[in-house]
Amino acid sequence: MDLPPVGARVRVPVGSRTLTGCVVQHDATLENGTGAKDIVEALDREPLLPEEIVALCRWVAEYYVAGIGDALAVAMPPGTRGRASGFKKQRVAMVVGSDPGDGATQGLESPHHRGLTPRQREALQILAAAPAGLPTSELRDRGVTTDILNRLVRRGLVSIRDANDERDPFERAALADVVPDAARELTAEQRHALAEICDLADERDFRVALLHGVTGSGKTEIYLRLADRVCRAGRQVLLMVPEIALTPSVAALFRGTFGTRVAIQHSALSDGERHDQWHRIRRGDVDVVVGTRSAVFAPLERPGLVIVDEEHDASYKQEETPRYHGRDVAILRASRAGALVVLGSATPSMESYQHAVAGKYRHVTLERRVLDRPLAAVRLVNMRTEYAEGGPDVVVSRDLVSAIDDRLRRREQVLVLLNRRGYSTAVFCRQCGDTFECPNCSVSLTVHSARNGWRARCHYCNYSVMVPKACRKCAAPYLEHSGFGTERVEEELRRRFPDARIGRIDRDSVRRKGALTQLLSKFAAAELDMLVGTQMIAKGHDFPRVTLVGVISADVGLGLADFRASERTFQLLTQVAGRAGRGEQAGEAVVQTLYPEHYSIQLACRQDYPAFFEKEIAYRRGMRYPPLVALINGIVRGPSFEEAMQDAREIVGRLEPATAGGAFTILGPAPAPLGRLRGEHRVQFFLKGSRRAEMRNALMEVVNGMPEIRRRLTIDVDPLSVL
C-alpha cells in the first residue's frame, strides 16, 4: 500500500491491541533494535493534521522534553482516535429536482402531485421554500411527521440524506449578541499604536510587538482593527486569551466584526463543539480563531497575525505533559509562518519586557485610559493595625467596610478579591494541636461549607472528609478554624450587608457548566451588587459600574518559596485594581496587607511597571534567575523519600560531568516544597545556565539511559512554578 501522508491517522498493532496513531515521519530510523510494525489500516487519505502542525508538535516534544504522542494529543480534535468521524449526523429532506442554487422546484400542479393530501402539499411547500433542504427534526416541529415524509419519498417527490449537524457554541453563549462600535473614534495614543503595529503587519514577515497598555487603555479595540486589516489582506488571525472566562466576550466582539467566520477553541466547549469548530478551521471556513492555550495548534492555513492577550498570565503554561507555554509556542509558530505576533498586557512578564528593553521586540505603549479616565486611586490598609485593634479574626477592614457601604448607597458595584478559595485554610484542636492534613499530600486540608456541616478537602488530590464535632485524636470538643478563603469572605459580607446582592466566583462555585458565564452576565447586567472571587475576577473583564475593588490579603502569595512571587503579586494587584473606574465614575481600590512596605505592593498601588521591573530585575540578576538565565526543573517521585532522593542523586551524579564546561550548574537534589503529592514523595533539582539546548540535551542523554527512573521523573523546561 502507498504510504499515508504525514498528518494522516493510521491504526497499528501495539502488543495485543490495535491503536490509532498519526504519521509524523516517513524516513525515521528506529533505535535500540525496535522492530517496525505494519500499518493495519490508514484512516485518512489526506492529512488530518496539517504538516506544519505536525512539525510544531515535534518541536514542542523536543523542546519541552515530552513524547511526540503527548504533543499530538493536544493538537488533535476530540473524536478522532477511532474510525468514527466525530460529526453529529442529522437527516435532511429536500424536494427531488430542486436546485439549491436558484430555489427552483417542480410545480405543485404537475401529474406527480395529483392525489396528495393537504398536509402532504403543505410539506412540499415548506420544502420548496428551502432548496437546500431542512432537517427532519425541524420539519417535525412544523407539523411534518415522519409518515408524511415517507409517503412523499415513496412517490419520488422528496429525498432524504444524512448530513453533518454542526454544533455552534455561539448559540448558547450569553454574550453572543455583542456588536462592536465600528465608528468609535480612537484616542491619539491608540491611533499611533495601531499605525505602528499595522506597519509591522504590512511587512508580511515575522515580527514581535509588545503592546504594553495600562488597564482600560483600549487594547482590544486595537486587536479588532488590526485583525480586520490582516484578514482583508487575505491572511488569518489567531487570538489567544488566558482564561476560558474571557473567551465568550472576546469571541463575541470578534463575531460582531467578522460574522460567522470566527471559531472558538477552549476546553469548556463540549467535545462535539470543539470537534466541529476544529474542522471548520481545517476546512478554511474561518478567518479568526479565538481560544485559550491549546488554540495555538489550531490548523489555520494562512496565519498572518497571532495575538496573545494578557501574555503574562500563568494560564498559558500547561502543568502536565507536554509542559508547553502557549505564548512561546505561538511565537515559534508565527516565526515559521512569517506572521506578526502581538503580545498584549498591562503587566508584561519579565521575559517579554526584557526582550522589549533589549530591542528584540517592538515596544508599543498605551499610557492613558480611553477618554482620559483616571486610574483607580489605591488605598493601603495595614492589617497589623486592624488585628491589634479588632483581634486576629478580622476579615474585612473598617476602611473597606466603609467604602463598600458608600458604593452600595450610590448603587455602584464592587469587586472583592481573595486569591484563596474555601471557608478556612485549616482545622486544628485547641487542646492537643492535631490538624487535619491530607494523607496523600503534604498540605493541610481546606475547609468548605457543606449542606450537613463542614467538609475538609485537599485541593491537590481531592481527598475529603467531613469535619467531626470532636477531635479525632483526643476527643476534645475544641476544634477551631484558622485562616479564611472566599467562602468566609462572602459570608462576612452577607452578614455586614444583608440587603446586598452578592455572588461568588471561584473554582468551587462554577463547577457546573455555564455557571461562570451566568454569574458574569448577571453582574454585567447589574443584577448583582458585589462579586467576591479569586484571580478569575481580576483579568480582562470590563464592568463600567464597578467603582470599588477590595483586595483581601494582598500578600497571600508573597510567602511562597518561589522566585516569581513578587512578580505575581504585582501583576494580580495591578490587574484587579484596573477593574475599577472603567465607566464614567472614578474608581478606587482598597488593598489589605500585612506588608504595606513591600515593593511589589507599593509599586502596584502606583501602577508603575517600569519601576517594578528595575527593582525585580536587580533581584533576579543578583540571584541568577530567569529571564537572565534559563531554568529546568526536575522532580523525581518515589514511594518513599529515601527512594526518590536516591534516584535524584543518581541523575545529578551522571549530569555533573556535563557541567565541566560551565554551560550550566546544578542545584540540589533537595526535598520539593510540596514534599508529597498524591501519595508520592518528591525530590527536585534544577539546571541553571545560559545555554538551554546544552542543558536539555545533557539531561535527556542521562535520563534516556535510565528508563526505569524516567517514568518517575517530571521535567519542566522554563518552569513558571517551582513548588
pLDDT digits (tens, 9 = 90+) for 568-613: 999 989 988 888 877 778 889 999 999 999 999 999 988 899 999 9
pLDDT in tens, 484-498: 899 999 999 999 999
* Residue where a domain terminates, one of 75, 99, 131: 75
503, 521: one domain: yes
For residues 531 and 657, state if they share a domain: no
Cβ-proximal residues to 212 (8 Å cutoff; 6+ apart), any chain: 345, 346, 348, 353, 356, 363, 364, 365, 366, 609
Residue 2 belongs to a domain: no
C-alpha cell at 443: 498540605
d(CA 361, CA 200) in angstroms, rounded, equals 11
Domain span at residue 284 reads 171-372
The predicted structure's pLDDT at residue 176: 44
Q: Structural domain tally of the chain?
A: 6
Residues in the chain: 723
Choose one of 164, 193, 211: the last residue of a domain: 164
Indicate whether 507 and 527 sit together in one domain. yes
Q: Is residue 112 part of a domain?
A: yes
- 225 and 286 share one domain: yes
- What are the E-state strand segments in 433-472? 446-450, 453-457, 464-466
591/496 same-domain check: yes
At which of 592, 618, 644 does a domain end? 618
Check which CATH number belongs to the domain holding 129 and give it: 1.10.10
Q: Is residue 723 a part of any domain in this protein?
A: no
HEC string for 612-637? HHHHHHHHHHHHCCCCCCEEEEEEEE
pLDDT for the residue numbered 105: 42
Q: What are phi and psi for residue 231, nearest 5 degrees?
A: -65, -40
Give the whole-angstrom CA distance, residue 293 versus residue 267: 10
> Is the peptide bond between 348 and the residue preceding it cis, with omega within 30 degrees of 0?
no
Which CATH number is 672's domain given? 3.30.70.600
Question: How high is the pLDDT of residue 274?
Answer: 85
On whether both 413 and 520 belong to a single domain, the answer is yes
- Specify the pLDDT at position 336: 96
Q: For residue 546, what is the domain's CATH number?
A: 3.40.50.300
Collapsed DSSP state (helix, strand, coil) of residue 428: strand
Q: Which CATH number characterizes residue 64's domain?
A: 3.40.1440.60
Report residues of the chain scoring pLDDT below 50. 100, 102-107, 174-177
> Quick one: pLDDT at residue 305?
97
| Distance in angstroms (rounded) separating the CA atoms of residues 214 and 219 | 9
**pLDDT tens by residue, 353-394:** 999 999 999 999 998 888 778 788 889 999 999 999 988 889
Same domain, 229 and 313: yes
**Residue 623 included in any domain:** no
In whole angstroms, what is the distance from residue 312 CA to residue 242 CA? Answer: 9
Whether 245 and 314 share a structural domain: yes
Is 453 inside any structural domain? yes
Q: Are residues 389 and 535 in the same domain?
A: yes
CB 226 within 8 A of CB 316: no
What is the distance between the alpha carbons of residues 552 and 416, in angstroms, rounded to a whole number?
A: 7
Identify whether residues 329 and 453 lie together within a single domain.
Answer: no
Query: Contacts from 434-443 at CB under 8 Å and sequence distance 24+?
Result: 434/471, 434/472, 434/473, 434/474, 436/465, 436/467, 438/463, 439/463, 440/676, 440/677, 440/678, 440/679, 441/674, 441/676, 441/677, 441/678, 442/674, 442/675, 442/676, 442/677, 443/674
* Residues 589 and 569 reside in one and the same domain: yes
CA nearest to 271, candidates 49, 79, 76: 79
Q: Quick check: is 525 in a domain?
A: yes
Same domain, 535 and 492: yes
Domain membership of residue 722 (yes or no) is no
Residue 84 lies in a domain: no
